[in-house]
Homo-oligomer: A and B are copies of this chain.
């Protein structure tokens, strides 16, 4: 009935359980003839290894938890892709969890992952100072922050978001814009705050440039569109001529908002997004965007985790920071005369 165990495989092959285990884990030390018999037995019985037993005995799991803020955002799925690719090479499995920017859901997922004694957790936390994370680490689950810079004793991989903000800001200022909108949120999220600080810094250095801030709760298409329509409705003399959106979903929504309101992009409104997801390039007006190496981010995070797991005590936590690139496309490709 139930799936056969190693014991039944052994009996059918006329060997001991030890030999079957050897066959599975160290086939080289098993005699060829025996090997064949065991293989035959496995095939005939339809034996499938029991991961739970393996894990219990070995004391360590082969799965890694990956908790992201939003699975529908291609940035995160690309990231997951990178993590999974490396995991695959090391014969481990990635368990993808969607926190939906909700601390409660996040906590639930962390609890579950800890009960499963996962090898480690890669997470884009809602709040990177959450004491729960530290508690988790203290109890022995390695954690790597993704797309967040760890200050304390944790590994992290992130992208220089301030630089990203500066790149976008400089680009728009050089194109002659003097009223710029920044849209993102919540501003308490570190990444958003950094991008905001970046563009704020360059705006303050420039003469006579005004930056308007718009905060949203969730960075999705719907919210972007709403803000877009709101801004489009402003009188021309105070309305910004350019907008920098903290992610591409917002930017895509914003772009739609412009279309609805009848504003031309980039002539009436230049747009720069963030993440450079595939949609950005394919948008009605191809979107300028600050590119983050999403896949590399995921891959590096997994790398750090594996390093931490393997070298255990010796391990020194590292904070890896990548540089973003500004990709200029049609949505901001317009020189404004002063």
Interface on A for B, CB 8 Å cutoff? 1-3, 46, 48-53, 55-56, 59, 61, 71-72, 74, 77, 80, 88, 93, 95-98, 108, 112, 114-117, 135, 138-140, 220-222, 225, 253, 255-256, 259-260, 278-279, 282-284
Q: Are B116 and A222 in contact (CB under 8 A)?
A: no
Q: Are A48 and B222 in contact (CB under 8 A)?
A: no
- Chain B residues lying within 8 Å of A259, measured Cβ to Cβ, are 259, 284
- Chain B residues lying within 8 Å of A98, measured Cβ to Cβ, are 77, 80, 96
The complex is assembled from copies of this chain, and their number is 2
Closest 9 CB pairs of A and B: A259-B284, A52-B55, A51-B115, A256-B284, A52-B56, A51-B116, A52-B52, A96-B96, A222-B282
Chain B, residue nearest A46 (CB): B139
Cβ 8 A contact of A52, one of B2, B112, B116, B225? B116
Chain B, residue nearest A138 (CB): B46
Give bound CA distance, A278 to B253, whole Å: 11
Give bound CA distance, A71 to B53, whole Å: 30
Give bound CA distance, A138 to B278, whole Å: 41
Cβ 8 A contact of A117, one of B52, B112, B117, B138? B52
- Chain B residues lying within 8 Å of A117, measured Cβ to Cβ, are 3, 50-52
Q: Are B77 and A3 in contact (CB under 8 A)?
A: no
- Chain B residues lying within 8 Å of A61, measured Cβ to Cβ, are 52
Give bound CA distance, A112 to B140, whole Å: 25
Further contacts, 12 of them, CB under 8 A, given A2-B140, A50-B117: A3-B139, A46-B139, A52-B117, A53-B56, A71-B96, A72-B72, A77-B98, A80-B98, A95-B96, A96-B97, A222-B278, A255-B284
